[in-house]
Structure 1
Amino acid sequence: MVQCSDLPLDLSFAALSDATRRGIIDQLGCGDASITSLADQFRMTLTGMKKHIQVLERAGLVVTRKVGRVRTCTLGKRGLTAEAEWIEAHRKLFEARFDALDEIISELRREESDD
């Protein structure tokens, strides 16, 4: 089997596959937050939250900056345009295939009723 890899998409979908990381993205959509405050909000250890943030950073979905002893997280500027386009293209493909299947089923039913 041939494997096609589009690294940014792979990183994004892997990052977004986890409910906690999706929650972090939602939270950062409301405003910047420190890693400590995110860990408190999600009731997890600081180490656990740092690991989630690293995954999001690798995907370009989150950017962190350190000011003094506080590391603050912000949504990345990259956004999810490529991911949305990929999803939309595949949604259209599935829709076309289901429409074709509906047509075949309708044709079979017409033939059955003619017999």
Structure 2
Amino acid sequence: MDEVAGAIADPVRRQILVMLRDGRLSAGEVAERFAISRPAVSRHLRVLRQSGLIRAELVGRQRFYTLDPEQFTELIDWLDHFVRPAGWEHRLDALETEVYRTRRERRPRGATDGRKEDTA
């Protein structure tokens, strides 16, 4: 998890991950989208590859990169403790139940659900 967190700490590497979300790109295609040098982009790709966030495939003389979203799982699970504290979904379910109960109790007796009845 530390390698993944370290890899996504850099904004250039985060941009590369976003680019790869849409599909496989060659190293050259990645590099041409940045104003930094190709060797600098290569270093960023290496960090992402070493962290396991992307995979490299050599096809002839070109190296293609793809995203490996499985590597985010551990970090997502850890972050989830801060985003959704334990029992949070249970509390939302209880709130929803209470809202429906209150609405039902406030509805005047004999009120319909809004549909017209057929009186013919």
Q: Structure 1 length as normaliser, TM-score?
A: 0.68
In the TM superposition, residue 91 of structure 1 has moved relative to its aligned partner by 3.7
Residues 75-94 of structure 1: pairs in structure 2 closer than 5 A: 75-92=67-84
Residues 7-86 of structure 1: pairs in structure 2 closer than 5 A: 9-86=1-78
Supply the distance in 1 between the matched residues of 2:61 and 2:6 (Cα, whole angstroms): 29
Moved over 3 A (4+): 90-93
Tell me if the contact between 2:55 and 2:68 (Cα under 8 Å) persists in the aligned partners. Answer: yes
Give unmatched runs, 5+ long, in structure 1. Answer: 1-8, 94-115
Supply the distance in 2 between the matched residues of 1:21 and 1:28 (Cα, whole angstroms): 11
Of the two, which has the highest radius of gyration? 2
In the TM superposition, residue 92 of structure 1 has moved relative to its aligned partner by 4.8
Give unmatched runs, 5+ long, in structure 2. Answer: 86-120
Supply the distance in 2 between the matched residues of 1:40 and 1:57 (Cα, whole angstroms): 19
Q: Structure 2 length as normaliser, TM-score?
A: 0.66
Aligned residues: 86
Residue 70 of structure 2 aligns to a residue whose secondary structure is: coil
Tell me if the contact between 2:55 and 2:65 (Cα under 8 Å) persists in the aligned partners. Answer: yes
Could you say what the CA RMSD is over the residues aligned between the two structures, in angstroms? 1.7
Of all paired residues, the percent bearing the same amino acid is 28
Supply the distance in 2 between the matched residues of 1:52 and 1:42 (Cα, whole angstroms): 12
Task: Say which structure is richer in helix.
Answer: 1
